[in-house]
Structure 1
């Protein structure tokens, strides 16, 4: 993972009024009570109830900046390394400091922790499922503002880096400049939207316009506007044969789920998979898996058919970019079908079930004395458990 959060992003501390307005009322009231009856040093344990990839740096950057701005002494102690697999209920980190100072920060800490860890886990699984495929993060349009976008881009970079350590190619960049630093890129990647093709009047003319304006940039052509993915892609390749032979042309498949790729239907989609990955079709499949394999939209059959058409026409160096709903499940089906995709553009690492992103913080010590609510004893550090019969966290019962 490259780069740090920009000062204008998540890591920027808020003033006291903004913090009070954005935190839960009972934390504000607790601060008032603690200030009247006497402050204590407390230790918080932060965790999630599901397995995740640890992605806490943006949160801890913000917390450190906020503690400095408020003059709060304290310490942040990660319980793992960023990018580690962390089991359900296992603490990600401990935060120690003034109860009066930290209690107002819990809401904001959790907002910046849980979604990032789940998105990082999703990105890791996607990259691990397709280790020889490069990914491009395209989450921005699906985010509720820039703070979410920054958090999701950061999370994808953490999950990608975890997969890279296991040999995957992972995410190589994103679709805009503001978050490209997370991937070590100087700028965002992308060539043309559907709107440019509509403006140009044809896929070929849009490609010509793009190349005239950006002659040194590789040409990735969006192929589905007119429902002629194969025909229009080959027309562009024949118009730019030198670029195609040099591997500087790619076709982006983004066929929507209401229709098949040009020339395919259910029967021919099955036939394509039978030709290239017969074992992928000869076992039980759920309805969703079958759609990813041989259904409408950007299926494994569609990718294989485009590869056939390019090779048959003499364009083996033209690359295939796939987009449209490439979450964890779809990536796994593509891996089963050995789909010949070179790059996947996706924002589907954004968590589907937002309730899975809910992080939790519990105080586990007051002035150094271990104390936590009943049922959360597993959050105590091992050296604090004193040999008690403590219920185990899920992470201690299972392997990844």
Structure 2
């Protein structure tokens, strides 16, 4: 069972609060495939886990990925049913990488889609990632920082991610820092003495209004440009208004207000629409875990084996057979088609060949390019798909050839497996089922 197989990775349905998804995770998936090798230690581990003699699993020794990958580049807007990537390789290779590919693409797509909505809700105000403390492990925190940058976040508090990915490291100060001083003013002055550039004072350790007043006094004496105060609790809209008034009365109209504390796109949307004088939004737990939709209902399904299209008929989980392509044109819905179909007039293919014979076909994609794709795709969406409350996702259509192939394969399977007309027949490959 080592002939060529194609698996398609897609999302069955969008979460109820999503009008679109943002493709992400491809780069780490390709890294895994490029380095995939079954070693002697792996064989021994498999044997131990299965309670089988190592000799039975020794044929796997040295197995590496030398197949092809066609995928949607990171940063593109995608919808339910559209393949995010397709793997074509000898069956053991294509099957054994399933779990890792699903893990990376599903997790990062969920996070990127949540972060994208925060950017839309912020209406041009900078958004910063503060999620590392609550993400599901440090790798998840790294990925949250990465996909946040992909969709336009201005920085991250994750210094390791900022260093590795050349992002802006952004943060303020700890409540504990303030608590070890006799008072807030002592803490603010000490902090300013050791930070010679702009400073951001955390003002809600004891009483927010008093903290802003103290911060304003210290900042006025410093006379440094680019400084800020940060609100981290309470009614952020009401407190931001009071803070703005205090800062303005102190002659500090340029001191920015940073808000954090349980924010997501819904809270940001309410604050922006309420005209809260907040300059920067720092998002953490709810965004780094995509709290309202912590996963996408993704699948990695066999669609072709040894040149024979195949599909799944399970109730509620029917799949479409054959290798596929997705075509996108302005002012129309996407079309899911067979991989070798000609594009409709004015349409471009979303899936590109990114790996062949186990090797990348070009340099690693970069975040700047992914961000440009995201900006262009989101701008092309209808307002109903972009809105924060009750978004309406677009539903792709299916090409006539793919619909015909699906019907043919279904009828053949039902006939052979359920004893209907044609029982016992064999599949005859059709170049054009229409």
Q: TM-score, normalised by structure 1?
A: 0.69
Matches within 5 A, 1:214-233: 214-215=195-196, 217-227=197-207, 229-233=208-212
User: Contact between 2:259 and 2:281, CA under 8 Å: does it hold in 1?
Assistant: yes
Counterpart residue number, 1:239 = 218
Structure 2 residue corresponding to 1:309, chosen from 246, 251, 258: 246
Q: Please give the alpha-carbon distance, in whole angstroms, between the structure 2 residues aligned to 1:306 and 1:232.
A: 9
Q: Please give the alpha-carbon distance, in whole angstroms, between the structure 2 residues aligned to 1:183 and 1:335.
A: 30
Give 5+ residue unaligned stretches, structure 2.
15-19, 39-62, 325-336, 340-400, 408-434
Matches within 5 A, 1:49-198: 49-50=13-14, 51-67=20-36, 70-78=63-71, 80-160=72-152, 171-181=153-163, 184-185=166-167, 188-198=169-179
CA shift for structure 1 position 85: 1.4
Q: Provide, for residues 278-309 of structure 1, a one-character-per-residue CA deviation record: whole Å limited to 9, x for no partner.
A: xxxxxxxxxxxxxxxxxxx2432222221122
> SS of 1:377's equivalent?
coil
Q: Please give the alpha-carbon distance, in whole angstroms, between the structure 2 residues aligned to 1:115 and 1:322.
A: 26
Distance 1:354 1:98, change over 3 A: farther
Counterpart residue number, 2:309 = 370
User: Contact between 1:122 and 1:159, CA under 8 Å: does it hold in 2?
Assistant: no
Q: Please give the alpha-carbon distance, in whole angstroms, between the structure 2 residues aligned to 1:303 and 1:100.
A: 58
User: Contact between 1:253 and 1:298, CA under 8 Å: does it hold in 2?
Assistant: no
Q: Please give the alpha-carbon distance, in whole angstroms, between the structure 2 residues aligned to 1:378 and 1:388.
A: 10
Q: Please give the alpha-carbon distance, in whole angstroms, between the structure 2 residues aligned to 1:331 and 1:190.
A: 19
User: Contact between 1:191 and 1:219, CA under 8 Å: does it hold in 2?
Assistant: yes
Matches within 5 A, 1:26-45: 38-45=1-8
Q: Please give the alpha-carbon distance, in whole angstroms, between the structure 2 residues aligned to 1:372 and 1:147.
A: 34
User: Contact between 2:200 and 2:230, CA under 8 Å: does it hold in 1?
Assistant: yes
Q: Please give the alpha-carbon distance, in whole angstroms, between the structure 2 residues aligned to 1:83 and 1:316.
A: 36
Distance 1:132 1:72, change over 3 A: closer
Q: TM-score, normalised by structure 2?
A: 0.64
Q: Please give the alpha-carbon distance, in whole angstroms, between the structure 2 residues aligned to 1:300 and 1:46.
A: 42
Counterpart residue number, 1:275 = none
> Which has the greater radius of gyration?
2
Higher helix share: 1
CA shift for structure 1 position 379: 7.6
Q: Please give the alpha-carbon distance, in whole angstroms, between the structure 2 residues aligned to 1:81 and 1:250.
A: 37
User: Contact between 2:22 and 2:76, CA under 8 Å: does it hold in 1?
Assistant: yes
Find out whether 1:46 has 2:9 as its counterpart: yes
User: Contact between 1:120 and 1:157, CA under 8 Å: does it hold in 2?
Assistant: no
Structure 1 residue corresponding to 2:290, chosen from 351, 355, 361: 351
> SS of 2:123's equivalent?
coil
User: Contact between 1:322 and 1:341, CA under 8 Å: does it hold in 2?
Assistant: yes
